[in-house]
Amino acid sequence: MSLTNASPEQAARAAKVSSRKLAALPTAARNAALDAVHDALAGARADILAANSRDVEFAKQSAASGELSLSILKRLDLSRKGKFDDMLQGIRDVRALEDPVGRVDLRTELDDGLILQRQTCPIGVLLIIFEARPEVIANIASLAIKSANAAILKGGKESTESFKIISTIISKALANTDVPNDSIQLVTTRDAVDPLLELSEYIDLVIPRGSNELVRHCQRKAHMPVLGHADGLCSIYIHADADEDMAVNVVVDSKTDYPAACNAVETLLVHENVLKTVLPKVASALISKGVALRCDQASRAALSKHLPQDRALLLHDVSDADFSTEFLDLVLAIRTITPDGNKPTSAVDAAIEHINTHGSHHTDAIITASKEVADRFCNGVDSACKFWNCSTRFCDGMRFGFGTEVGISTNKVHARGPVGLEGLMIHEYRLSGMGQGAAMYGSGGRQYKHKKLPLL
């Protein structure tokens, strides 16, 4: 890894050259590099957290003056809820995964002695642009090394001190490994982002991790594919048959475990039959955690009657804009779902329509006792992740067993959902023959066999 002041084109060109060398490294060499990175970061914990605390203090001042959002501030703090240990464990988890490079998933005998093989290979060069989240440096470096992709990383100014020390430690750790120096580069030039987004001849994929503004800027400017999501507007629908305790546990966790996360729930959809039963207990639990509830007319009326007066006074009216807002805070919008006559599926269909209209295709969940209803919900909702009776917070690469993730994608092509090693691979086709030429086949010539062969 190198902390570079080179021009964007020089950095990208060097990454492209190094990507070919990295792709040729054996599994053992890449795993040894991951061990070195893990041990170096673990040994420098105190220094890294001290540098991170300086970033956090400066960010607090920026947040107080309105220059920085509170959600970014929360994502910046490495000392929060074991984030540092999670960063280290993520490296270990990636190292323990099976090598994703060169996996054969198709073999076809086109003709005698003419064998086609499809196998996985690295994408090439990744450009990762992130705000806050200093752990991203270690996450992306480990995923890139394991998947044999070169990576160029550009961090935000709010994580400068953390960025410098983590990059320096990783750079020193990799110096004694076989990983090429320029295969992982950290760009420090402030105005490098837009020029890098134009270098499609060297950079194959952009992964922005940060604010809505950052992601949309990359999507507008990039000359190469962009993987990620601009919003994390997640919803939970409580169906008429939902278990009361389950609803409380799932909704409270989804909202309060980490409100600034992209997989935190922002909208609660409630079947009208549970307005006086399940919803009051869910609302009471949320209010006790400091959540501000923005209710539609029906839900507010029900809660005003079934909550203690001191808690009912904390309810607010919802606006149409709230249903399309990613709060990233202890705020939750509530909408009542009313069935259409006697149609048994009309309520879940209305919930689906709301989510597909207002959501961001990230993660949405349903709480119901019916598998049939859950399947209808999951089949109808157009999101990367659809959950049944569990928290939206489970949408995460580490929790999915991917080791760690480069981000969560709402794309409709390539990778979707939490993107780990699998999402950093593409396919290539290899054909081995015995001197055959295409002109030998066709009318009056040899015929293709197209015989499926067992995988090796």
206 and 300 within one domain: no
238 and 223 within one domain: no
Reply yes or no on whether the pLDDT at 3 is more than 90: no
Kindly state the average pLDDT of the residues 55-80.
83
Whether residue 345 is contained in a domain is answered as: yes
Whether residue 243 is contained in a domain is answered as: yes
* The Cα angle at residue 274 between residues 272 and 279, in degrees rounded to 5: 110
244 and 208 within one domain: no
Whether residue 114 is contained in a domain is answered as: no
Whether residue 68 is contained in a domain is answered as: yes
**Alpha carbon 87 to chain centroid, angstroms:** 15
- For residue 224, the model assigns a pLDDT of 96
55 and 12 within one domain: yes
Whether residue 49 is contained in a domain is answered as: yes
User: For the segment 376-403, what is each residue's pLDDT rounded down to a tens digit?
Assistant: 999 999 999 999 999 999 999 889 988 7
206 and 166 within one domain: yes
| Residue 295 belongs to domain with CATH number | 3.40.309.10
Whether residue 447 is contained in a domain is answered as: no
Reply yes or no on whether the pLDDT at 83 is more than 80: yes
40 and 183 within one domain: yes
Kindly state the average pLDDT of the residues 190-212.
91
User: For the segment 340-350, what is each residue's pLDDT rounded down to a tens digit?
Assistant: 877 767 999 99
351 and 366 within one domain: yes
- For residue 68, the model assigns a pLDDT of 77
216 and 159 within one domain: yes
- For residue 2, the model assigns a pLDDT of 60
Reported confidence tier of residue 100, pLDDT bands at 50, 70, 90: very high
Reported confidence tier of residue 4, pLDDT bands at 50, 70, 90: low
Kindly state the average pLDDT of the residues 25-36.
97
- For residue 167, the model assigns a pLDDT of 87
User: For the segment 216-246, what is each residue's pLDDT rounded down to a tens digit?
Assistant: 999 999 999 999 887 899 999 999 999 999 9
Kindly state the average pLDDT of the residues 154-172.
87
Q: At 283, list the tokens.
A: 């609302």
Reported confidence tier of residue 181, pLDDT bands at 50, 70, 90: confident
Q: Which long-range contacts (CB under 8 A, 24 or more apart) does 453-456 make?
A: 453/107, 453/108, 453/109, 453/115, 454/107, 455/104, 455/105, 455/106, 455/107, 456/104, 456/107
- For residue 53, the model assigns a pLDDT of 94
Which residues lie across from 360 on neighbouring strands?
none
Whether residue 357 is contained in a domain is answered as: yes
How much of the chain exceeds pLDDT 90, in percent? 73
Domains in the chain, number: 2
User: For the segment 299-341, what is each residue's pLDDT rounded down to a tens digit?
Assistant: 999 999 999 888 888 899 999 999 999 999 999 999 999 998 7
289 and 378 within one domain: yes
Whether residue 442 is contained in a domain is answered as: no
- For residue 88, the model assigns a pLDDT of 94
325 and 291 within one domain: yes
Average pLDDT, the chain: 92
89 and 11 within one domain: yes
Q: Which domain holds residue 334?
A: 234-394
User: For the segment 107-117, what is each residue's pLDDT rounded down to a tens digit?
Assistant: 999 999 999 99
| Residue 417 belongs to domain with CATH number | 3.40.605.10
Reply yes or no on whether the pLDDT at 72 is more than 80: no
322 and 221 within one domain: no
Reply yes or no on whether the pLDDT at 1 is more than 60: no
